[in-house]
């Protein structure tokens, strides 16, 4: 027997033996799992095809000579023969396409067990059970649920006491809005979906000043209105109140209650506002809050109830 073929058989046997030793002796072996069986079948096919191709073309290089009609084109005086695609290559290519269609339509994953599919089905089932069980939860029970969800999902950034967690510097949820957040919104403007739809607030260059004209709002006016809003709109005779009346009232309302379709409420939390932040995220002075899409609607409603209870001292 030709030494080349002999070495091919030896290498094939050695690689198939190594594959069997790796898989066959492990606890459970293939265990009837179609994914494992397909993986081993693929490994065996690759070994055999690789050895066959190597032997064929090494042998061809040893014995064959180039023949046929040269193509008209050449690259650096290197010509190319107009030979047909090797029959073996064509068969392998066609076989790979057929196997690929079978794998997609009949084999894994369309018609077989999937851990991801099972997980999604179980999540959907548990979500439906949760929504049915807690559909009518209200009042203190809803607040307690919200606190539980908050301690799992929100505490890492907003802190155990919802005070903003000094290390992370997230928003303090015990108050509707801080001076720093007001300043950021006025200076930089905001884009987001606090109303459930895209509602952009212009930056300082697009805001009227305290005298009701479009001259840019000054730093002093920004400091004053930020203090007034963060303090809960209490001092109606302050400089901040004057700035708010001339610059912000058209969109946010006389007392920061918000105007439908224009701007959100800024004198207190409301349930829909919190839910919108959870649904769409928020960008502000502290950075970007991610979308909390792993929470279901009842959990978001519960978090909103808990956040609203904080400012009421409950």
For residue 265, pLDDT over 60 is answered with yes
Mean local confidence (pLDDT), 71-97: 86
Q: What is the pTM of this model?
A: 0.61
For residue 12, pLDDT over 90 is answered with no
- Among 233, 224, 275, CA closest to 253: 233
Top pLDDT among 28 and 168 is at 168
> Are 240 and 229 a contacting pair, CB within 8 Å?
yes
Which one of 40-44, 94-98, 206-210 scores highest in mean pLDDT? 94-98
Distance of CA 128 to the CA centre of its chain: 23
Query: Can you tell me the distance from the alpha carbon of 145 to that of 296, in angstroms, rounded to the nearest whole number?
Result: 13
pLDDT of residue 61: 79
CA dist 186 → 183, 198, 200 (Å):
5, 17, 12
């Amino acid at each position: 027997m030709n030494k080349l073929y002999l070495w091919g058989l030896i290498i094939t046997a050695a690689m198939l033996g190594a594959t069997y030793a790796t898989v066959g002796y492990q606890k459970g072996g293939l265990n009837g799992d179609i994914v494992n069986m397909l993986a081993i079948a693929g490994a065996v096919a690759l070994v055999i095809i690789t050895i066959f191709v190597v032997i064929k073309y090494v042998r061809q290089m040893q014995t064959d000579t180039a023949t046929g009609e040269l193509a008209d084109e050449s690259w650096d005086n290197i010509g190319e023969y107009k030979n047909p695609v090797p029959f073996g290559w064509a068969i392998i290519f066609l076989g790979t396409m057929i196997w690929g269609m079978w794998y997609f339509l009949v084999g894994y994953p369309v018609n077989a067990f999937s851990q991801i599919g099972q997980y999604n089905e179980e999540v959907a089932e548990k979500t439906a059970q949760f929504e049915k069980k807690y559909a009518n939860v209200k009042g203190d029970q809803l607040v307690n649920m919200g606190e539980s969800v908050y301690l799992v999902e929100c505490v890492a950034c907003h802190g155990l006491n919802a005070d903003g967690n000094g290390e992370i510097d997230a928003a303090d949820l015990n108050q509707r809005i801080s001076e720093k957040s007001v300043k950021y919104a006025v200076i930089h403007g905001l884009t987001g979906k606090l109303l459930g739809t895209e509602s952009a607030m212009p930056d300082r260059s697009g805001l009227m000043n305290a005298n009701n004209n479009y001259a840019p709002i000054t730093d002093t006016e920004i400091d004053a209105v930020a203090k007034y809003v963060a303090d809960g709109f209490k001092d109606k005779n302050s400089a901040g109140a004057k700035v708010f009346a001339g610059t912000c009232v058209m969109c946010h309302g006389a007392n920061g209650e918000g105007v439908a379709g224009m701007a959100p409420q800024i004198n207190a939390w409301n349930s829909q506002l919190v839910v919108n932040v959870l649904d769409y995220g928020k960008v502000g002075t502290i950075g970007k809050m991610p979308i909390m899409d792993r929470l279901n609607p009842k959990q978001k409603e519960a978090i909103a109830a808990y956040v609203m209870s904080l400012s009421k001292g409950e």
